[in-house]
Amino acid sequence: MINQNIKDFILNLNVNKIPLQRKNSLNTIIKELKKNNDLNLPSKLNFICTHNSRRSQLCQIWSEIIFNYYGFTRIHSFSGGTEVTNVNKRIIKILIESGFSIKQNKHITNPEYIVKCGKINEIKLISKLYNDIQNPANNFIAVMNCSSAEKNCPIIDGASKIISLQFDDPGKFDESSLENEKYRETNIDIASSIKYICINI
Protein backbone atom coordinates (compact mmCIF):
# COMPACT_ATOMS: atom_id res chain seq x y z
CA MET A 1 0.00 0.00 0.00
CA ILE A 2 1.15 3.52 -0.74
CA ASN A 3 0.23 6.49 1.40
CA GLN A 4 -2.77 8.69 0.65
CA ASN A 5 -0.73 11.72 -0.42
CA ILE A 6 0.96 9.76 -3.20
CA LYS A 7 -2.33 8.10 -4.20
CA ASP A 8 -3.87 11.55 -4.60
CA PHE A 9 -0.83 12.74 -6.56
CA ILE A 10 -1.15 9.82 -9.00
CA LEU A 11 -4.92 10.18 -9.39
CA ASN A 12 -4.60 13.91 -10.15
CA LEU A 13 -2.05 13.41 -12.95
CA ASN A 14 -3.51 14.53 -16.30
CA VAL A 15 -2.22 12.35 -19.14
CA ASN A 16 -4.11 14.44 -21.72
CA LYS A 17 -1.45 17.15 -21.43
CA ILE A 18 1.34 14.88 -22.67
CA PRO A 19 2.70 16.16 -26.03
CA LEU A 20 2.23 13.95 -29.10
CA GLN A 21 5.94 13.32 -29.67
CA ARG A 22 6.33 11.98 -26.14
CA LYS A 23 3.19 9.86 -26.52
CA ASN A 24 4.79 8.25 -29.57
CA SER A 25 7.79 7.25 -27.44
CA LEU A 26 5.52 6.02 -24.66
CA ASN A 27 3.53 3.94 -27.15
CA THR A 28 6.78 2.27 -28.23
CA ILE A 29 7.49 1.38 -24.60
CA ILE A 30 3.94 0.05 -24.23
CA LYS A 31 4.44 -2.15 -27.30
CA GLU A 32 7.59 -3.69 -25.78
CA LEU A 33 5.91 -4.26 -22.42
CA LYS A 34 2.95 -5.96 -24.11
CA LYS A 35 5.33 -8.14 -26.11
CA ASN A 36 7.05 -9.35 -22.94
CA ASN A 37 3.72 -9.93 -21.24
CA ASP A 38 2.48 -12.03 -24.19
CA LEU A 39 5.63 -14.16 -23.84
CA ASN A 40 5.03 -14.44 -20.08
CA LEU A 41 8.28 -12.60 -19.41
CA PRO A 42 8.98 -9.87 -16.85
CA SER A 43 9.98 -6.45 -18.17
CA LYS A 44 13.01 -4.46 -17.06
CA LEU A 45 13.24 -0.74 -17.79
CA ASN A 46 16.61 0.95 -17.39
CA PHE A 47 16.23 4.75 -17.49
CA ILE A 48 19.47 6.35 -18.65
CA CYS A 49 20.65 9.96 -18.46
CA THR A 50 24.17 11.40 -18.43
CA HIS A 51 24.63 11.96 -14.68
CA ASN A 52 21.88 9.73 -13.23
CA SER A 53 21.14 12.69 -11.01
CA ARG A 54 17.71 14.09 -11.87
CA ARG A 55 15.45 12.87 -14.68
CA SER A 56 16.46 9.21 -14.73
CA GLN A 57 16.08 9.04 -10.93
CA LEU A 58 12.56 10.44 -11.14
CA CYS A 59 11.74 7.96 -13.91
CA GLN A 60 12.94 5.06 -11.79
CA ILE A 61 11.06 6.04 -8.65
CA TRP A 62 7.78 6.88 -10.36
CA SER A 63 7.92 3.75 -12.50
CA GLU A 64 8.39 1.56 -9.44
CA ILE A 65 5.55 3.27 -7.59
CA ILE A 66 2.99 3.76 -10.36
CA PHE A 67 3.44 0.33 -11.95
CA ASN A 68 2.97 -1.19 -8.49
CA TYR A 69 -0.08 0.99 -7.85
CA TYR A 70 -1.75 -0.25 -11.04
CA GLY A 71 -0.85 -3.87 -10.30
CA PHE A 72 1.97 -4.37 -12.83
CA THR A 73 4.26 -6.24 -10.46
CA ARG A 74 6.31 -7.87 -13.24
CA ILE A 75 7.61 -4.56 -14.57
CA HIS A 76 10.82 -3.56 -12.80
CA SER A 77 12.60 -0.22 -13.02
CA PHE A 78 16.25 0.80 -12.79
CA SER A 79 18.34 3.84 -13.66
CA GLY A 80 21.91 4.71 -14.53
CA GLY A 81 24.15 7.21 -16.26
CA THR A 82 27.16 7.51 -18.50
CA GLU A 83 28.86 9.20 -15.52
CA VAL A 84 28.50 8.87 -11.74
CA THR A 85 27.69 12.05 -9.80
CA ASN A 86 25.02 12.06 -7.08
CA VAL A 87 21.26 12.24 -6.72
CA ASN A 88 20.63 15.96 -6.82
CA LYS A 89 19.30 17.38 -3.55
CA ARG A 90 16.47 19.10 -5.43
CA ILE A 91 15.17 15.72 -6.58
CA ILE A 92 15.04 14.58 -2.97
CA LYS A 93 13.20 17.79 -2.10
CA ILE A 94 10.55 17.33 -4.82
CA LEU A 95 10.00 13.67 -3.88
CA ILE A 96 9.44 14.63 -0.23
CA GLU A 97 7.04 17.32 -1.43
CA SER A 98 5.18 14.62 -3.40
CA GLY A 99 4.65 12.54 -0.25
CA PHE A 100 7.69 10.25 0.00
CA SER A 101 9.64 9.58 3.18
CA ILE A 102 13.39 9.65 2.46
CA LYS A 103 16.39 8.75 4.57
CA GLN A 104 19.99 9.45 3.56
CA ASN A 105 22.09 6.37 4.23
CA LYS A 106 25.56 7.91 4.36
CA HIS A 107 26.90 11.44 4.32
CA ILE A 108 29.33 11.01 1.44
CA THR A 109 29.86 12.60 -1.97
CA ASN A 110 27.43 10.16 -3.62
CA PRO A 111 25.00 9.13 -0.86
CA GLU A 112 22.39 6.40 -1.13
CA TYR A 113 18.82 7.39 -0.32
CA ILE A 114 16.17 5.03 1.05
CA VAL A 115 12.76 6.02 -0.28
CA LYS A 116 9.48 4.90 1.28
CA CYS A 117 5.90 5.76 0.44
CA GLY A 118 3.88 3.47 2.69
CA LYS A 119 4.03 -0.23 3.35
CA ILE A 120 5.51 -1.36 0.02
CA ASN A 121 9.18 -2.26 -0.27
CA GLU A 122 11.67 0.54 0.11
CA ILE A 123 13.47 1.82 -2.97
CA LYS A 124 17.14 2.75 -3.03
CA LEU A 125 18.34 5.70 -5.09
CA ILE A 126 22.01 6.31 -5.86
CA SER A 127 23.85 7.71 -8.86
CA LYS A 128 25.54 4.89 -10.80
CA LEU A 129 26.54 3.82 -14.29
CA TYR A 130 23.84 2.32 -16.49
CA ASN A 131 25.75 -0.99 -16.52
CA ASP A 132 26.28 -1.05 -12.75
CA ILE A 133 25.99 -4.45 -11.06
CA GLN A 134 22.70 -3.30 -9.49
CA ASN A 135 21.15 -2.99 -12.95
CA PRO A 136 20.14 -5.77 -15.37
CA ALA A 137 22.88 -7.00 -17.70
CA ASN A 138 20.64 -8.18 -20.52
CA ASN A 139 17.08 -8.40 -21.85
CA PHE A 140 16.17 -4.91 -20.64
CA ILE A 141 14.61 -1.91 -22.34
CA ALA A 142 16.99 1.06 -22.33
CA VAL A 143 15.03 4.30 -22.03
CA MET A 144 17.16 7.33 -22.88
CA ASN A 145 16.10 10.43 -20.94
CA CYS A 146 18.49 13.02 -22.40
CA SER A 147 20.06 13.75 -25.77
CA SER A 148 23.67 13.70 -24.53
CA ALA A 149 23.36 10.18 -23.13
CA GLU A 150 21.69 9.09 -26.35
CA LYS A 151 24.52 10.62 -28.40
CA ASN A 152 27.33 9.22 -26.23
CA CYS A 153 25.81 5.73 -25.98
CA PRO A 154 24.19 4.85 -29.31
CA ILE A 155 24.69 1.19 -28.41
CA ILE A 156 23.70 -0.18 -24.99
CA ASP A 157 25.09 -3.67 -24.46
CA GLY A 158 22.43 -6.13 -23.32
CA ALA A 159 19.45 -3.96 -24.25
CA SER A 160 16.66 -5.65 -26.17
CA LYS A 161 15.40 -2.24 -27.28
CA ILE A 162 16.61 1.38 -27.01
CA ILE A 163 13.88 4.01 -26.80
CA SER A 164 14.23 7.79 -26.59
CA LEU A 165 12.00 9.36 -23.92
CA GLN A 166 13.35 12.83 -23.20
CA PHE A 167 12.30 15.41 -20.64
CA ASP A 168 13.42 19.00 -20.10
CA ASP A 169 16.37 19.29 -17.74
CA PRO A 170 15.28 21.18 -14.59
CA GLY A 171 18.96 21.56 -13.69
CA LYS A 172 19.13 24.48 -16.13
CA PHE A 173 17.13 26.48 -13.60
CA ASP A 174 19.16 25.69 -10.47
CA GLU A 175 19.63 28.73 -8.23
CA SER A 176 17.11 30.74 -10.27
CA SER A 177 13.69 32.11 -9.37
CA LEU A 178 12.14 29.36 -11.54
CA GLU A 179 13.92 26.47 -9.81
CA ASN A 180 11.00 25.13 -7.75
CA GLU A 181 8.50 25.57 -10.59
CA LYS A 182 10.65 23.73 -13.13
CA TYR A 183 11.40 20.81 -10.82
CA ARG A 184 7.68 20.45 -10.10
CA GLU A 185 6.93 20.53 -13.84
CA THR A 186 9.49 17.83 -14.62
CA ASN A 187 8.27 15.71 -11.72
CA ILE A 188 4.68 15.91 -12.99
CA ASP A 189 5.72 15.34 -16.63
CA ILE A 190 7.56 12.15 -15.73
CA ALA A 191 4.92 10.78 -13.38
CA SER A 192 2.18 11.55 -15.94
CA SER A 193 4.13 9.69 -18.62
CA ILE A 194 4.40 6.58 -16.46
CA LYS A 195 0.69 6.77 -15.66
CA TYR A 196 -0.04 6.99 -19.41
CA ILE A 197 1.86 3.74 -19.93
CA CYS A 198 -0.10 2.01 -17.17
CA ILE A 199 -3.55 2.98 -18.39
CA ASN A 200 -2.73 2.03 -21.99
CA ILE A 201 -1.08 -1.38 -21.56
CA distances from 192 to 23, 30, 59, 175, 185 (A): 11, 14, 10, 26, 10
What is the reported pLDDT for 146? 84
Helix (H, G, I), strand (E, B) or coil at 123: strand
- Residue 78 contacts residue 136 (beta carbons within 8 Å): yes
How far is 186 from 51, CA to CA, in rounded Å? 16
**Rg value, the chain, Cα:** 16
The answer as to whether 35 is a domain residue is yes
What is the reported pLDDT for 133? 97
**Domain limits at 193?**
4-8+19-167+177-200
What is the reported pLDDT for 105? 84
What is the reported pLDDT for 19? 95
In one letter, which amino acid is 166? Q
Question: Under 8 Å CB-to-CB from 155, ≥6 apart: which residues?
Answer: none
Render each residue's pLDDT in the chain as its tens digit; 201 residues: 789 999 999 999 999 999 999 999 999 999 999 999 999 999 999 999 999 999 999 999 999 999 999 999 999 999 999 999 999 999 999 999 999 999 998 778 899 999 998 876 789 999 999 999 999 999 999 999 987 766 766 679 999 999 999 999 999 999 999 999 999 999 999 999 999 999 999
The answer as to whether 14 is a domain residue is no
The answer as to whether 188 is a domain residue is yes
- Residue 163 contacts residue 141 (beta carbons within 8 Å): yes
Question: Under 8 Å CB-to-CB from 149, ≥6 apart: which residues?
Answer: 48, 49, 50, 81, 82
How many domains does one find in the chain?
A: 1
Helix (H, G, I), strand (E, B) or coil at 163: strand
CA distances from 17 to 21, 185, 189, 194 (A): 12, 12, 9, 13
CATH number at residue 78: 3.40.50.2300
Model pLDDT for residues 36-60, shown as the tens digit of each residue? 999 999 999 999 999 999 999 999 9
In one letter, which amino acid is 6? I
The answer as to whether 118 is a domain residue is yes
The answer as to whether 67 is a domain residue is yes
